[in-house]
Amino acid sequence: MVEITFKEMSLSFDGRTVFIKGDFFGEVVDVKLSVLQLAKVFGSDKIIAQEAEQNFGSEELEDKCTETRDVVKNFPNIDVWTNNVELSDCWIDSSEIDKGIIRIFGENMCGWENKGILIRMSREIYGKVLGGKDFKIILTPFFCYIFVVISQSW
């Protein structure tokens, strides 16, 4: 299991994307996700998050997440529900591998072009922990967990 501890959060200029600086054994890991996805994790903007579940995410719904934007601005001094959101459809994009970076995407059909999360980490860290393995991602308000999926054959 990989545990990324969230250290800092900030918003993009349009307020739709949340940038997170995380720590993984002393290495900075960059995380990006939709403010709508984070609303589900924080348990904020509940009506908007429920609407996104029924109709998929959209920029219009992201624009309505004012409560979640306030939480991001006050991070880490926040009081939120501790929801866990699982992203089981995960994949690797090695388009930046020549820069020594691996990009990990997790999806659950909620805003931000329907990608739930983007994690950028060094190729070295990725190779030591996740290289060549199937995995899923679980988001919480203060951590991102990446679990290696062990397949069982009978």
- Please provide the average confidence, as pLDDT, over all residues in the chain: 85
Let me know if residue 85 belongs to a domain.
yes
- pLDDT tens, position by position, 96-134: 888 999 888 887 655 445 456 889 998 888 888 888 788
- pLDDT tens, position by position, 128-151: 888 878 888 999 999 999 888 765
pTM: 0.86
* Phi/psi of residue 137, nearest 5 degrees: -120, 135
pLDDT at 154: 45
CA distance 143 to 133: 21
Let me know if residue 142 belongs to a domain.
yes
Let me know if residue 139 belongs to a domain.
yes
Let me know if residue 91 belongs to a domain.
yes
Let me know if residue 37 belongs to a domain.
yes
- Parent domain of 33: 2-148
Considering only CA atoms, which of 87, 32, 37, 31 is closest in space to residue 62?
37
String of DSSP letters for 37-90: HHHHHHT-SHHHHHHHHHH---HHHHHT-HHHHHHHHHTTS-------EEE-EE
The total number of structural domains that make up the chain: 1
- What SS3 class is residue 135? strand
Let me know if residue 154 belongs to a domain.
no
